[in-house]
Amino acid sequence: MRVWTLLLLLLLLLLRSDAVHSDSEYLIGVGSYDITGPAADVNMMGYANAEQIASGVHFRLRARAFIVAQPEGNRVVFVNLDACMASQLVVIKVIERLKARYGDLYTEKNVAISGIHTHAGPGGYLQYVVYIVTSLGFVRQSFDVIVDGIVNTVVQAHENLRPGSIFVNKGELLDAGVNRSPSAYLNNPEAERSKYKYNVDKEMTLLKFVDDEWGPSGSFNWFATHGTSMSRTNSLISGDNKGAAARFMEDWFERKGSVRMDSVGLENDGIPRRISNIIPNVHDTFSLSYSRVVLTKTQGITRHAKPPNKEYAKPKISRTEDHKLLEIAASFQSPPGKPATKISSVARRVRGVLRQVDKPKFVSAFCQSNCGDVSPNVLGAFCIDTGRPCDFNHSTCGGKNELCYGRGPGYPDEFESTRIIGERQFRKAVELFNGASEQIKGKVDFRHAFIDLSQLEVNLSRVGVSEVVKTCPAAMGFAFAAGTTDGPGAFDFKQGDDQGNPFWKLVRNLIKTPGKEQIDCQHPKPILLDTGEMKLPYDWAPSILPIQILRVGQFVILSVPGEFTTMAGRRLRDAVRTVLSGNKGFGSNIHVVIAGLTNTYSQYVTTYEEYEMQRYEGASTLYGPHTLSAYIQEFTKLARALISGQPVEPGPQPPDLLDKQISLLTPVVMDATPIGVKFGDCSSDVPKNSTFKRGDMVSVTFWSACPRNDLMTEGTFSLVEFLQGKTTWVSAYDDDDFCLRFKWSRPFKLSSHSKATIEWRIPQDATPGVYRIKHFGAAKGLLGSIRHFAGSSSAFVVA
């Protein structure tokens, strides 16, 4: 009888096991890893501004990935990078490493790697000359950290694969993007424009991943707006508005999921932070009818945490309590800098401390779409000399493009604009996440091909007349050099130029004179740089490009290697949707999203009509006026193969140019401090007996060393610590926090002396108490040895 009882219990346990018995159609895994590159000396990718050199961190960059697999079938991987764009060379090396680890489980066919298009990340990681000129060539450190980060992210997602469900939702977000080239958009047929309410796509589409055991594990959404809230003069590494939105949402979920008896954070209605061990232990927790109140006793002060989603008075301290705190703070003066270990900054990181070891970390990604003509600077473009709107057709001010700038919603504060546009995307994503009810069901599949866009034949049909045209070798027009209202160019270039300038044509001809066939093919674009035919010291621009479709049930991702404009993206989506809608395997409710800047980068794709206007986007459409038609033709081939179950020809392989890369970036020779000064010593401390209020800026400067010596991957350069009790310092804010900035500088370029300034804008919901600021760094000796160090400020009071 006892044996039968044991067998029955075993059977019940097996039936309750998610690993054995699950109604889920998919295995789902998510992952995330630090890809913050060198925070010094390296040119930033995006604006092509040679003077925009990294010198610190606004907040750290990450790779985020999801894997969806059918237990006995196909799987797909989507990686979203806090980077300007994907790199063909990065993809090649990532796939090599994944194949070495997993065989043919993950290949270029079922792995998509996409960039959010921040213009505030280190450059030098692409393989074509035109994209690494301003970074003084290839930057191995930028390249390696991205490759390593992607591989680690995919490995995490793979190891997290568990039974789960996927839900989709979509909705309009009206105030996070405007069209920065409306005159080009207006050149599209009126009948086509009349089908749409707006001249940019306002729809956000979100996937919600739900683990069978743990509940929600992640969300990825696609929405079109440029990563240009941070300006062309910013020098701090930043994920811009989409990177900020991702952090806000991950913080929101961690906060939402961390409200427990044993570890709880103070609620707030502003931008949230992740729960961390900054929050004192809860000694008394109880619930009221409509809210939660937390009482904490720390440093002799009683604080009340505000109820969720309710207005509340900020915690205040009396004069007596302030005096007690100042006495405590006075006992913690800035000590001399001291040696540290390589993992010191990793160990002190704020985030993830309270996460259960066996529970997957919640991952949220804000992915890029057809953002080609979409600006986050939603107040419009104005002349900085007069304050008047810029010229409509050419985006100039008195004929000069350099004076025309777009304004973000936080103008003139670019950090505030980044926060606002990020918050708007975050809030829409939370709304869609909470309301997601349509479940994804059906096959997992994919199709991928390489195409040579330098000479592709395209079949065009117009009003019953068919003709065959060709794409062209890559070339950039004169308006490319004019830049955009997000980041104007220089000299006398202007948008909307379909003629060119005799002087600049002469300069162009000294580099490479385009032939008649190329000039005719690219017409009406006047060629400034004939990049597709420039081969010294190696290829200046790509010609072989990847196209890819990923399918998860009724959800379809079109991976495109460039920036499609609004109307170009609409035409591509509609063409693919038309093919798929005729197949019963998809049903009628198909969700098709464009993942821009994916798997490699080839600049812009406009419609034929927008190309004729030769604004920046048209001048940057590399392969001529029929580029979009070529993409539509080739993507519809993939779509037909997807529904028929037939394979596609892989196409020509792109080159691996790693061995040909040239780098002119000066290495770090050595770091030093003045005589009698140690690395980590305070150069400029907080004032003695300081009390700050929320909203104040606290600034501390340390003697430091070049951040290129150690990128502090999954660690932090800067840290704000909170005094718990009278002796224990706990981590409160670090490089991942929007309120903390790490700024690095040296007196002149080749100086071995340098300083790090850490600025902390005290959040409105900061807990009153005693704080200090800490800095982690690594110094390079004359013989190449690396010595890690740490420094601390004197303690101060936040009242």
Instruction: Please identify every residue annotated as catalytic.
Output: 375
Q: Which tokens in the block code for residue 409?
A: 């919603």
Q: Of 429, 551, 736, 427, which is closest to residue 78 (Cα–Cα)? A: 551
Longest dimension (CA), the chain: 99
Q: Of 379, 385, 406, which is closest to residue 397 (Cα–Cα)? A: 385
3 state DSSP class of 83: coil
Q: Is the peptide bond before 524 cis (omega within 30 degrees of 0)?
A: yes
3 state DSSP class of 433: helix
Instruction: Find the DSSP H helices in 458-604.
Output: 502-511, 516-522, 566-581
How far from 476 is each of 346, 448, 540, CA to CA, in Å?
A: 44, 27, 11
Q: Which tokens in the block code for residue 716?
A: 């932090």
How far from 72 is each of 26, 68, 154, 642, 773, CA to CA, in Å?
A: 10, 12, 19, 19, 52
**Phi–psi pair at 673, nearest 5 degrees:** -130, 160
CA 711 distance to own-chain centroid: 18
Q: Helix 566-581 crosses helix 627-644 at what angle (to 10 degrees)? A: 20
CB within 8 Å of 450: residues ≥ 6 apart? 544, 545, 546, 547, 650, 651, 652, 653, 654
How far from 701 is each of 56, 516, 715, 718, 742, CA to CA, in Å?
A: 13, 59, 20, 11, 10
CB distance 532 to 622 below 8 Å: yes
What is the dihedral sign for C-alpha 410, 411, 416, 422?
A: positive
Side chain identity at 447, as an amino acid letter? R
Instruction: Find the DSSP H helices in 331-411.
Output: 344-347
CA 722/CA 331 separation, integer angstroms: 14
Q: Of 611, 614, 647, 654, which is closest to residue 630 (Cα–Cα)? A: 611
User: Residue 757 pairs with which residues in a beta bridge?
Assistant: 701, 743
**Residue 643 neighbours by CB distance under 10 Å:** 17
CB distance 167 to 437 below 8 Å: yes
Strands (E) located in 299-357:
301-304, 338-339
Q: Which tokens in the block code for residue 258?
A: 């961390």
CA 444/CA 460 separation, integer angstroms: 32
3 state DSSP class of 75: strand
CA 115/CA 423 separation, integer angstroms: 19
3 state DSSP class of 105: helix
CB distance 626 to 460 below 8 Å: yes
Q: Of 604, 591, 657, which is closest to residue 138 (Cα–Cα)? A: 657
CB distance 145 to 111 below 8 Å: no
